[in-house]
Structures are given as C-alpha cells and as structure tokens.
C-alpha cells in the first residue's frame, strides 16, 4: 500500500469528520427552514445592509457579531468560501439560497422558497427564531472548520503522508477519480462505517463541480485547504484546444459552403433541363386533350340517342308496375280479414293461459315462504358460529400480545447489558487514547527536526514548479503565435474575423495571467515564510492542548 495503516486510519477519520460536520449543518438547515417566518430573500437582505445585491466577508462578520459570535479571519474566509459556491469571488442571492436551504429534504426546500417575502429595513433584525437559526448555521460551519483543521493537522504530521498517495489509496481501481463505491470500500478496509446519507454529505462538500466524482484537485483542497495551482494552466490548455477545434470547424464549414455552391449550380442546371422537359410534355398533353374532346363529342351524340330510348322503356315499366299494385291490394284485403279472425281466437287462449299462471304463482309463493323460514333458522345458526370464531380469534390475539410483551422485556434487559458493555469499552478506549497522546508528544519532538528539512525541500520544489509554469506559459505564447500565422491564411472568409478577435482576447488574457502568476508566486513565498514561523510558535501550545482534548474515534 502507499500509506501505512495508521495514516490510512487518520485519513478515514478526516473523511468521517467532514461527513459528520456536513450532516450536522444539514440538520441545522432543516431546523431553520421549518421556521414559519424564515424566507431566503429577506434573510439575504438582512445580511446585505448596503443593498448591493452581493455579500462580502465584512457583511458576514457584522451579522455574526450582532449575534455574539466572533470568528477569526481564517474562519470568516472559510465561511465565505463555503457560501461562494460558484467561486467567482462574490456571494449572490442564488449562492446564498443554495447554501442555506436544506439539500436532502426537497419538501422543506420547496416550502421555504415559496414563502412570501416581507420588508426589512436597514440595521433591522429578523425575528428571534430566524436570527438564531441563521447564526446557528454559520456557527456550525465554523465548528466544522475547527474539527477539520484539527484532523488535518493530525494527518499531515504523519511521516509517510502525501496527497497523491492518499488519492491512490482510495482510488484502488485506478479510475482517475473517486466514486461513492470506492470511498466506501476504503472506509470498510480501515474499520469505519458510514451510511449512504453521510457519504452523499461528504460528496456535497468535496465535489465542487457536482459531477458525482471527486478528482485529485478536489481531494487536495478538502484534505489540506490548498487549491490546485495547475488548474489555471489546465484552463488555458483547454481554451487553446477549444480555439483549435473552432478553427477546424470553420475550415470544415468553409468546405461545406464550397460544396453547397457547386451543388446549387448543379441544381440550377437541372431546373433548366426540367423546365424544357415540362414544356415538351405540356405540348403533348394539349394534343391529347384535343383528341379526347373530339371523342367526347361523338360519345355525347350517342348518349342522347340512348336517353331517348331509356325514356320510352321507363314509361312501359311504370304502366306494368301500376297493374301489379292493383292486384296486390286485392290480395292484402283478403289477408286482413283472415288476420282479424285469428286475433279473436288468440285473445281467448291468452285469458285461459293467464288463469293457469296465477294458480302456479300461488303455489310458488307458498313454497318460497317455507324456504325463507328455513333460511332464517340457518342464518341464526351461522351467526352463533361466527361469534364463537371471533371469540377464539380474540383469545389467540391476546396470547400473541402477551408473548410480544415478554419478548420486549427480554430485549430491554439485553439492551441494558449492551449499554453497560459499551461504557466499559469507551473507558478502555479513552485510556488507550491518553497513552497514544503521550507517545505522540514524544514523537512530535522528533518530527520537528524532520519538518524543518521537509519545509526547505517544499520551498525548493515550489520554486521549480513556478519555473515550470513560466515555461509552460511561454510555450502557450508560441502556440498563440502559430495560431496567428494560421489566421493569416484564413483571412478571406468573414467567419475567420471572429477567430482573430478571440485570439487577440486570449493573448491579452495569457499576458495578464503571466503577470498574476508572477505576483502570486512572490506573495506565496512571503506568506509561507510567515506561516513557517507561526507554525513553530503555535506547535508547542497545540501539543499540550491535544493531550487534554482527545480526538474521537469511530468504528
């Protein structure tokens, strides 16, 4: 493995502290959202006293001071970074809403966002429960920072710890990024257990781009609060790649345009040939129509003759039909007389049948009465049987309830025994922690000498890295000059003028980045020299405080 078992345990402890801190802040967010008088926009206006539409570090510090919370400069900067989610150096209303509202409970988030806002004047406080809840969210973030920094210091004191080795220990499948499954496997190997909600909470804190994966730069910033210095250079390289891709796309579009022009010329030639063919076809059709008209005239004359003959035939048919109708009327009169006689005979038979049916109905009613009496007796017997069954089922349920009560009593006794065992185990662990802290105090004195040599090596490595960055930026300038030469070749089309403007803009940005990097390198050197002196002064005080404040361990 890349790290020892002890450093891996410290790394797992840091991950657990980050996850649990985010879980606590989520609980505080939900408590704040449940307040009926809480509305995000009015809370944002409470912090934005100058009504600029943005929040600064001083606005947050003033709000906390009003609620008797006094953070240090480092803590206030961390709180500002936590609220500035898009990392543009300012906290707007969308950033504030996304950081303050609950992230796990969508119902509460929707209820809080749909509440009506109310007017609040400058230097006016929110309702007491809302003011307390909002300050409690910020205070919890500060407490999370304190616990994370303590765990970071314990982790970085390990002799074999590096951020790259820590990333490799978690990414054992060599994916190049960390997922929830790989992180869960790492924690299981080190005897730590986190639920799925706690893992998602850790990802909410560390995964800044919210792609469901943790890259090396994101893990580095979470473990050491140090940003990835090569991120700007990667952005420059990505922008150069995008500009190249745009140039290639423009060349392809130019080729497509030329092909379209050729195809248009071909289409025009085809249209002309089609018009000629259509003209010839129209002439042929006109000739055919003339011939058809002649044939129609002849057919019309024939039809007139046929119509005359049809009229004569129809007159003959009408006369025949009248004769047949008269004969049918005679026959129908005879049938009507026969039907009247049949009706009279049928009415007599119907009266006889009704008398017979009435007798049969009386007999059926007598039988139905007898059956009803039998059914009532059977129904009463069934009701008695059902009552007996219900009484038996009630007795069985009471017996089951007695058994459950006895099982609950036994389970409570077992829980009390387990609690006693846990308390004894915690006492033993606290004693072991005290012994470990005593040993760590002795080891820290040995590590101080190693720290001095390591810090000198780090300073040299940072100088080398800054030189490499300058060389890479020079290479980027050479690439920009190559792109300018390519631009001269493509000056004819109007679309390449846009590329020229983009290249000039990128050139200016690269020059500004060179100047910024040089200034940042000088500032970082001075800040690190000061930080080294401050760390040596505070190290002894920290060791004494850690003897009494033992860190928590998790199974």
At 320-334, the pLDDT tens digits run 788 778 778 778 777
Distance CA(14)–CA(166), nearest Å, equals 12
- Looking at residues 175-192, what average pLDDT do you find? 88
* 514-529 pLDDT tens trace: 777 777 777 777 777 7
- Looking at residues 66-80, what average pLDDT do you find? 89
The secondary structure of residue 230, as a DSSP letter, is T
Q: What is the pLDDT of residue 552?
A: 41
Q: How confident is the model at residue 445 (pLDDT cuts 50, 70, 90)?
A: confident
- Whether the per-residue pLDDT at 466 is higher than 50: the answer is yes
Handedness of CA 182, 183, 186, 191 (dihedral sign): negative
* Tokens 């230097």 sit on residue: 123
The secondary structure of residue 86, as a DSSP letter, is S
- Whether the per-residue pLDDT at 442 is higher than 80: the answer is no
Q: What is the pLDDT of residue 282?
A: 81
Q: How confident is the model at residue 228 (pLDDT cuts 50, 70, 90)?
A: very low
Distance CA(26)–CA(506), nearest Å, equals 42
* Contact status, residue 29 vs residue 105, Cβ threshold 8 Å: no
- Whether the per-residue pLDDT at 1 is higher than 60: the answer is no
Within a 10 A sphere around the Cβ of 219, how many other Cβ atoms?
Answer: 22
Q: How confident is the model at residue 27 (pLDDT cuts 50, 70, 90)?
A: very high
CA angle 333, 335, 340 (to 5 degrees): 100
Between 202 and 448, name the one with better pLDDT: 202
Q: How confident is the model at residue 550 (pLDDT cuts 50, 70, 90)?
A: very low
* Tokens 């947050």 sit on residue: 60
Q: What SS3 class is residue 285?
A: helix
Distance CA(23)–CA(390), nearest Å, equals 51
Q: What is the pLDDT of residue 136?
A: 92
* Contact status, residue 59 vs residue 152, Cβ threshold 8 Å: no
Contacts of 129 (CB under 8 A, 6+ apart): 35, 37
Q: What SS3 class is residue 2?
A: coil
Q: How confident is the model at residue 423 (pLDDT cuts 50, 70, 90)?
A: confident
Tokens of 134: 């909002």
| Total residues found in the chain within this entry | 555
* 261-294 pLDDT tens trace: 888 888 888 888 788 888 888 888 878 888 888 8
Between 313 and 204, name the one with better pLDDT: 204
* 327-374 pLDDT tens trace: 787 787 778 877 877 888 788 787 777 778 877 887 887 887 788 778
* 294-310 pLDDT tens trace: 888 887 888 888 888 78
- Whether the per-residue pLDDT at 451 is higher than 80: the answer is no
* Tokens 């500002």 sit on residue: 80
Please give the mean pLDDT across all residues of the chain: 80
What are the angstrom distances between the C-alpha of 507 and each of 39, 151, 164, 219, 240? 46, 43, 33, 32, 11
* Contact status, residue 300 vs residue 294, Cβ threshold 8 Å: no
Between 116 and 88, name the one with better pLDDT: 116
- Whether the per-residue pLDDT at 52 is higher than 60: the answer is yes
Tokens of 142: 């500060």
Q: What is the pLDDT of residue 281?
A: 83
Phi, psi of 118, rounded to the nearest 5 degrees: -130, 155
* 114-151 pLDDT tens trace: 888 888 888 888 888 999 999 999 999 999 999 988 98
DSSP assignment of 109-156 equals HHHHHTSPP----TT-PPPHHHHHHHHHHHHHHHHHHHHHHHHHHHHH
Tokens of 108: 């509460």
- Whether the per-residue pLDDT at 51 is higher than 60: the answer is yes
- Whether the per-residue pLDDT at 555 is higher than 70: the answer is no
Q: How confident is the model at residue 499 (pLDDT cuts 50, 70, 90)?
A: low
Q: How confident is the model at residue 415 (pLDDT cuts 50, 70, 90)?
A: confident
Q: What is the pLDDT of residue 238?
A: 60
Identify which of 129, 113, 159 has the alpha carbon closest to the alpha carbon of residue 7.
159
Out of 46-55, 135-144, 410-419, which region has the weakest mean confidence (pLDDT)? 410-419
Q: Report the percentage of the chain scoring pLDDT > 90.
A: 6
Out of 98-107, 264-273, 486-495, which region has the weakest mean confidence (pLDDT)? 486-495
* Contact status, residue 38 vs residue 32, Cβ threshold 8 Å: yes
């Amino acid at each position: 493995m890349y790290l020892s078992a002890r450093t891996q345990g410290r790394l797992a402890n840091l991950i657990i502290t980050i996850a649990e801190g985010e879980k606590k802040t989520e609980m505080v967010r939900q408590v704040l959202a449940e307040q009926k008088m809480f509305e995000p926009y009015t809370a944002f206006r409470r912090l934005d006293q100058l009504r600029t539409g943005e929040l600064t570090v001083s606005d947050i510090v003033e709000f906390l001071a009003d609620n008797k919370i006094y953070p240090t400069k480092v803590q206030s900067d961390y709180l500002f970074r936590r609220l500035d989610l898009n990392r543009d150096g300012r906290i707007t209303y969308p950033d504030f809403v996304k950081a303050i509202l609950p992230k796990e409970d969508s119902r509460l988030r929707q209820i809080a966002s749909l509440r009506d806002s109310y007017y609040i004047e400058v230097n006016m406080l929110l309702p007491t429960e809302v003011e307390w809840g909002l300050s409690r969210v910020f205070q919890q973030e500060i407490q999370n920072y304190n616990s994370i920094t303590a765990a970071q210091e314990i982790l970085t004191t390990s002799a074999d710890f590096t951020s790259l080795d820590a990333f490799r220990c978690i990414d054992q499948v060599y994916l190049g990024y960390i997922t929830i499954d790989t992180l869960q496997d790492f924690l299981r190997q080190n005897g730590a257990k986190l639920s799925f909600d706690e893992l998602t909470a850790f990802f909410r804190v560390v995964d800044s781009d919210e792609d469901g994966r943790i890259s090396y730069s994101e893990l580095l910033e979470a473990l050491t609060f140090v940003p990835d210095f090569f991120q700007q250079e990667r952005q420059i390289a990505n922008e150069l790649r995008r500009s190249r891709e745009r140039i290639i796309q423009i060349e392809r579009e130019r080729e497509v345009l030329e092909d379209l022009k050729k195809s248009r010329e071909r289409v025009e030639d085809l249209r002309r040939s089609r018009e000629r063919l259509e003209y010839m076809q129209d002439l042929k059709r006109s000739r055919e129509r003339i011939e058809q008209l002649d044939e129609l005239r002849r057919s019309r004359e024939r039809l007139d003759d046929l119509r005359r003959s049809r009229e004569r035939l129809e007159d003959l048919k009408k006369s025949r039909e009248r004769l047949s109708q008269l004969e049918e009327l005679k026959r129908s009169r005879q049938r009507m007389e026969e039907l009247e006689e049949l009706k009279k005979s049928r009415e007599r038979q119907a009266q006889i049948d009704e008398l017979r049916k009435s007798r049969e109905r009386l007999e059926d009613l007598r039988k139905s009465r007898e059956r009803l009496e039998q059914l009532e007796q059977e129904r009463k017997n069934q009701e008695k049987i059902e009552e007996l069954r219900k009484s038996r089922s009630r007795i069985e349920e009471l017996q089951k309830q007695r058994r459950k009560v006895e099982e609950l009593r036994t389970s409570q006794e077992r829980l009390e025994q387990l609690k006693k065992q846990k308390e004894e185990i915690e006492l033993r662990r606290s004693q072991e922690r005290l012994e470990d802290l005593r040993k760590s105090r002795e080891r820290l004195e040995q590590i101080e000498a190693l720290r001095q040599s390591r810090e000198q090596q780090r300073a040299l490595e940072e100088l080398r890295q800054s030189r490499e960055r300058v060389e890479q930026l020079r290479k980027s300038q050479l690439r920009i000059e190559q792109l300018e030469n390519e631009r001269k070749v493509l000056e004819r089309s109007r679309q390449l003028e846009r590329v020229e403007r983009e290249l000039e803009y990128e050139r200016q940005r690269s020059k500004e980045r060179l100047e910024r990097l040089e200034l940042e390198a000088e500032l970082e050197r001075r800040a690190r020299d000061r930080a080294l002196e401050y760390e040596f002064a505070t190290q002894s005080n920290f060791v004494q405080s850690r003897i009494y404040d033992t860190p928590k361990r998790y199974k």
